Amino acid sequence: MSGTQKTVAIIGGGPTGIGVARELIDGGISVKLFEAEADFGGVWNAEAACGRAYKSLHLISPKFNTQVPDFPMPEAYPPYPNHRQMLAYIRSYAKAFGLYERTHFNSKVEDLKPEGDGWRLRTSQGHDAFYPMVIVCNGLQRVPRFPEPGCPGQFAGKVMHANDYKSAEQLEGQRVLVVGGGNSGCDIAVDAIRTAETVLHSTRRGYYYQPKFIDGKPTPQWMMELGNKFDSKEETLAYITEVFRLAGYDGADYGLPRPDYPLDGAHPVMNSLLLYHIGHGDITPKPDIERFDGNTVHFTDGSSEGVDTILYATGYRRDFPFLDKQALEWKGDIPDLFLHSTPRNLDNILFMGFINAAGGLGDGLKTQGLFVLNYARAYFGKTSGLKRFLAAKKSDTPDLGQTYFIDSYRHQWEADLWKLLSHMRRYRDMLAEGMPAKEEEPAE
């Protein structure tokens, strides 16, 4: 169809951006990708402003489900690659599928405005062109987020965010308080003990801590291999929880609060060392902060500690500085996106990669890319499948497991991975309706 000759603009050269671009190219759709930095990588591009990697960082998802199924990581990679290996993999993926020659680097998108049936896109390098469709993949980790409301009092020491953290040398000889119980907060607290004088770790609730290996295998692989061993989900979770406890990964055994939600009710914290170092006195757990008084931090349990540096590992806000906020419909402080990707009020722009799920990159990247491919084909072809989908996105409320997760800022876009992928495949099939036979979606 003539629509395949239309060019789709993709904003962002991180893993999602290149994954989507690859599927569109393989499907015969012209692509222009815009990356603000000098090379691909996104959060894994440690030397760039968008980079969120620090010196000792390793993946928290294992190699087996982080790699794209038809583009495996090198055999020499360990079960949990480091950030340099991950960056090399991303760039090799981009090179293998012809993305370098289709990308404008050092081209920050500064303005994206509706124009006719598409968008006028302008960049810092003077690129100014019309595109009938835009895919936004500029990432979740954009603007550092701090606790709101802030704590009473004034802190006299240094304040950092995980965004600023590059190596433990930044904290040498200091009394450090890490705030935040997610994977970044736990990993940085463990890393900081190598150089800091003392390390305190403040969390607001109980967490489940999962080891990276069980029975000699990456823990997610071990979990998957349980299969249907038990009659119910509850029995399976009870078994996994008991195995973790026997392996020494029950926070309550170390004096931490016991979680008041099920094991899979929050994004998993994969860390084999946090509880180990708490047990050895290298990290001192603390509850939430009550107030500041100079360099003294007072906690809600009545204790207080002298602190030189506070490092907030408290997440990020989405940021689309090139787009008028009023162009989107919002649900609280995040966009209201069908399947966490598709605006209900706009048909020529998609937002991909704006979701959290317990799984590696490879579990979802190809499925998301093929969804975008079918959407682009249906949109350009004005097919019967597109008509059905546009109606569905305004009325359907597919179960992504949202109500199952704990109530927190980041869990607003948490999803049950398998439910999400199942729905994306279902709607992808819907979009394929009415396409010419030669344009039907490729097999996965």
Q: How confident is the model at residue 1 (pLDDT cuts 50, 70, 90)?
A: very low
Confidence of residue 4 (pLDDT cuts 50, 70, 90): very low
Mean pLDDT confidence for 268-274: 96
* Rounded-to-10 torsion of CA 48, 51, 56, 61: -140
What gap in Å lies between CA 133 and CA 5, rounded to an integer? Answer: 12
Q: Of 329, 360, 357, which Cα lies nearest the Cα of 342?
A: 329
Q: From 297, 312, 327, give the residue that closes a domain.
A: 312
In a domain, 133, yes or no: yes
User: 55 and 109: one domain?
Assistant: yes
Look at residue 53 and tell me if it is in a domain. Answer: yes
**Residues 244 and 259 reside in one and the same domain:** yes
Rounded Cα distance, 91 and 52, in Å: 17
Residues 6+ apart with CB under 8 A from 42: 12, 13, 14, 15, 16, 17, 50, 90, 139
Residues 58 and 128 in one domain: yes
Q: Is residue 177 part of a domain?
A: yes
Q: Per the structure, how many domains does the chain have?
A: 2
Distance between the two ends of the chain, CA-based, in angstroms? 22
Residue 362 has pLDDT above 90, yes or no: no
Residue 203 covered by a domain: yes
Residue 332 is predicted with a pLDDT of 79
Residue 164, in any domain of the structure: yes
Average the pLDDT over each of 72-86, 101-115, 409-423 and give the range with the smallest value. Answer: 409-423
Q: How confident is the model at residue 409 (pLDDT cuts 50, 70, 90)?
A: confident
444 in a structural domain: no
Task: Give the 3-state secondary structure percentages of the chain, helix then strand then coil, rounded to 5.
Answer: 35, 25, 45
Choosing from 281, 312, 343, the residue where a domain stops is 312
Bridge-based pairing state of the strands 209-210 and 269-270: parallel
Residue 118 resides in a domain: yes
Number of Cβ atoms within 10 Å of the Cβ of 219: 22
Q: What whole-number distance in Å separates Cα of residue 297 and Cα of residue 339?
A: 41
The answer on 162 and 120 residing in a single domain is no
What are the phi and psi torsion angles at 391 (to 5°)? -70, -40
| Cβ-based burial of 102 (10 A; exposed 0-12, middle 13-18, buried ≥19) | middle
What CATH number is attached to the domain comprising 363?
3.50.50.60
Instruction: Identify the residue with better confidence: 6 or 384.
Output: 384
DSSP code, position 261: S
pLDDT digits (tens, 9 = 90+) for 95-145: 999 999 999 999 999 999 999 999 999 999 999 999 999 999 999 888 999
Residue 438: what pLDDT? 55
Helices (H) and strands (E) in the chain, counts: 10, 28
pLDDT band at 435; cut points 50, 70, 90 = confident
pTM as predicted: 0.94
3-state SS class at 74: coil
Residues 407 and 274 reside in one and the same domain: no
Q: Write the pLDDT tens digit of every residue in 249-265.
A: 999 999 999 999 999 99
- Under the banding of pLDDT at 50, 70 and 90, the label for residue 439 is low
Round the average pLDDT of the chain to a whole number and report it.
93
Q: Report pLDDT for 360.
A: 83
Statement to judge: residues 80 and 198 lie in one domain: no
Same domain membership, residue 171 and residue 39: no
Domain final residue, candidates 268, 285, 312: 312
Helix axes 361-381, 417-432, angle to 10 degrees: 20
**Half-sphere exposure at residue 224, Cβ-oriented, CA atoms within 13 angstroms:** 14
Task: Evaluate whether residue 218 is within a structural domain.
Answer: yes
- Who wins on pLDDT, 442 or 9? 9
The whole domain housing 83 covers: 2-143+316-439
197 and 308 share one domain: yes
Assess whether pLDDT exceeds 70 at residue 384: yes
Take residue 390 and report the two structure tokens written for it: 């546009």
pLDDT-derived band at 358 (thresholds 50, 70, 90) equals: confident
Residues 90 and 239 in one domain: no
Both 304 and 343 in one domain: the answer is no
Q: Which helix (H) or strand (E) holds 418?
A: helix 417-432
146 contacts: CB under 8 Å, gap ≥ 6 = 161, 312, 314
| Listed residue (99, 163, 84) closest to 137, CA to CA | 99
Nearest Cα neighbor of 66 from 51, 45, 50, 44 is: 44
Same domain assignment for residues 115 and 242? no
Q: Coil, helix or strand for 437?
A: helix
Claim to verify: residue 102 and residue 154 sit in the same structural domain: no
Amino acid at 219: T
User: Among candidates 170, 154, 172, 182, which has minimal Cα distance to 60?
Assistant: 182
